[in-house]
Amino acid sequence: MAEKAPHAKTATTTHDATDVEEPTTTAITTAVSGRDTDSNLAVGEKNVSSSSDAASKDNRDLSAVLSNNDGGGEEYPEGGVRAWLVVVGCWLALFASLGLMNILATFQTYVSTHQLATYSTSTVGWIFSVYTFVSFFLGIYIGPLFDKYGPRWLIIAGTLCLVLSLILMSISSEYWHFLLAFGILSGVASSLLFTPSIAAVGHFFKARRGFATGIATTAGSFGGIVFPLMLQRLISTVGWPWAIRTLAFICLAVTIVSNFLIRSRLPPAKDASPHPDIRIFANKAFAWTTCAVFLLEFALFIPLTYISSYARSKGFSDDFAVNILSILNTGSVFGRVLPGWYADRIGPFNANMISVVVTAVACFAVWLPAGGTKPGIVIFALIFGFTSGSNISLIPVAIGRLCRTQNYGRYYATCYTLVSVAVLIGIPIAGKIVDSNDGEYWGLIVTTGVVYVASFAAFVAAKVAVVGWQPWAIL
C-alpha cells in the first residue's frame, strides 16, 4: 500500500513508538502520510550522490523526523465491522503462510531422516534457506503490485501456488523435488499471501495499527502450534503424502475465505519508491540498523529450523521433538501481541535490544547448559518463541523511525534486500556447523548466541548514531 493520503498540515508529535507508522512490507509505505514538502527529510532522503554530504544532512534532519514522523490528515476507520473483517481475512491468510514458516523444523526433521536421509544436514538446510530467502526477497517487489492492483489477485495467486507446492511436496522423493516444490514455490506463495495481508491491515488502522497487526500476525504462531501436532498424528496414521495433502486442503480452505474478506481502501502514492537504494547507507543510523537486522535474522531462523532435530539428537522422542516446536510457537503468540504495548512506551529500538539480549542470555544460560533436559529445552523454547515474535513485530517499526512514511518502501526494500541474504545462508551454515561437530549441536548454539550479541552491538551503534550516548533515551 505505498499510498499517500491527501495533503495535510504536519502536526508535531512525540518520540513514542505510537507516533510512528508500523508498516511491515514494502506495500505499507505511505498510507497515512500527508507531507509532500522537504521540511522534515529523513535519513538518506535528499539527493545522496555525495555520500558524506548526504550523511551529514540526513543526520541533521533525523531529529526532525523523529519528532514529526506522522503528520497525516487521512481519516482511518480504526475499527468497525469492515475493518475487523479485513483483520480476520488477513489472519486466515497468515495462518497458512506464516504457519508454514513457523514449522520448518518439522519438515526439516522428517525429510532429513526419510526421503533425504543420505544428504548432510547443511545440504538439506538449503531447501529451507531458499524458502526463507524467496519469502523475504520477493516481498520487496510484491508491495508495488499491491499498490497498483490491490490484494485480490495476489491472494488468489498465493493460494494457488501454496496448494500446488504442498501437493507437489507430498509426492517428492528427490532433493531437487523438495527444492523446487517447497524451497521456491512455497516461498513465492508465502510472499504473495503475507505481503498484501499485512498491507491491508494498514489501510484501516493508524493509531491502532500495531495492535491490529499484532492480532493478525498471531495467526502464524497458531499455525505453528496446530500444524506440527496435526502432521505428527497424520503421518503416523495415513503417512507423509496424505498428511501433506491434508495440510494443503486446510490452507486452501482458509485462504479461500481470506479472498472474500481482505480489501484495500487507500489510493496509491504517486511519489513512493519501493526499490532498493544503496546510497542511503551513507547514513550511519540506517547502515547500523541494517547490520543489526541482518545478524538478527541470520540467527533467528537457526533455532526455528533445528530445534526439533536438536531434541531428537538429545534422545527425546519424535513426539516431543514435534511438541517442542508447538511450545516455541505458543511463546511466539504473546511475543507478537505484547511488544506493541511496551514499544509504545520505550520505543521500538529499545524493545528490540531487550529482546535480543534476552535471546542471547537464553542461548548461553539455558539452551547450551540445560538444553539436554526437558525443562531446559522447554524454557528455552518459550523464551525464544516470545523474543522472536517480538523481533518480527518490531523490526519494521524500528526501520520506520529513520524515514518519512512515504519513503518507507525504499528503506524497507534496501534493508531487506541484504537481510534476505542472511536468511539464505544462515540455515545451511548452521547445518554445516552440526556436520563438522559430528552431529553435536553445541557449536550451533554458541554461534546463535554470538550472532545475537553482535546484533545487539549493532543496534546500540544505530541508536548512538541517532541520539548519541544516551542509554535511556526513547527510540
pLDDT-derived band at 194, boundaries 50, 70, 90: confident
In a domain, 64, yes or no: no
Alpha helices in 314-362 (DSSP H): 318-346, 348-362
In a domain, 357, yes or no: yes
In a domain, 266, yes or no: yes
pTM for the predicted model, two decimal places? 0.78
Q: What would the mean pLDDT of 400-408 be, rounded to a whole number?
A: 70
Whole-angstrom CA distances from 462 to 14, 262, 292, 442 are 20, 36, 8, 30
Using one digit for the tens of pLDDT, what is the confidence trace for 247-274?
999 999 999 999 999 887 766 555 555 6
Q: What would the mean pLDDT of 132-146 be, rounded to a whole number?
A: 82
450 CB contacts (<8 Å, ≥6 apart)? none
Percent pLDDT > 70 in the chain is 78
How many domains is the chain built from? 1
pLDDT of residue 294: 96
Residue at grid coordinates 498465493: 158
Angle at 233 between CA 227 and CA 235, to 5 degrees: 90
Decide if pLDDT at 432 tops 80: yes
In a domain, 45, yes or no: no
Query: Which amino acid belongs to residue 173?
Result: S
Sign of CA dihedral 73, 91, 132, 248: negative
pLDDT of residue 458: 96
In a domain, 63, yes or no: no
CB 336 within 8 A of CB 217: yes
Q: Which has the minimum average pLDDT: 20-34, 100-114, 183-197, 457-471?
A: 20-34
Joined together, the cell numbers standing for residue 243 give: 498428511
In terms of Cα–Cα distance, which of 3, 176, 66 is closest to 397? 66
The kind and range of the H/E element at 152 are: helix 152-170
Between 19 and 194, the more confident residue is 194
Q: What would the mean pLDDT of 457-465 be, rounded to a whole number?
A: 94
In a domain, 255, yes or no: yes
Whole-angstrom CA distances from 85 to 21, 88, 201, 415 are 21, 5, 10, 31
Decide if pLDDT at 416 tops 90: no
In a domain, 139, yes or no: yes
Residue 218: give the domain boundaries: 81-467
Joined together, the cell numbers standing for residue 74 give: 487521512
Decide if pLDDT at 465 tops 60: yes
CB 305 within 8 A of CB 128: yes
Using one digit for the tens of pLDDT, what is the confidence trace for 85-137?
989 999 999 999 989 998 988 999 899 989 999 999 889 999 999 999 999 88
Query: What is the C-alpha separation between 267 and 251, in angstroms, rounded?
Result: 30
In terms of Cα–Cα distance, which of 344, 418, 390, 349 is closest to 133? 418
For residue 168, the domain's CATH number is: 1.20.1250.20
Cα pseudo-dihedral 193, 132, 144, 36, rounded to 10: 120
Alpha helices in 69-151 (DSSP H): 81-101, 104-113, 121-149
Between 434 and 61, the more confident residue is 434
In a domain, 315, yes or no: yes
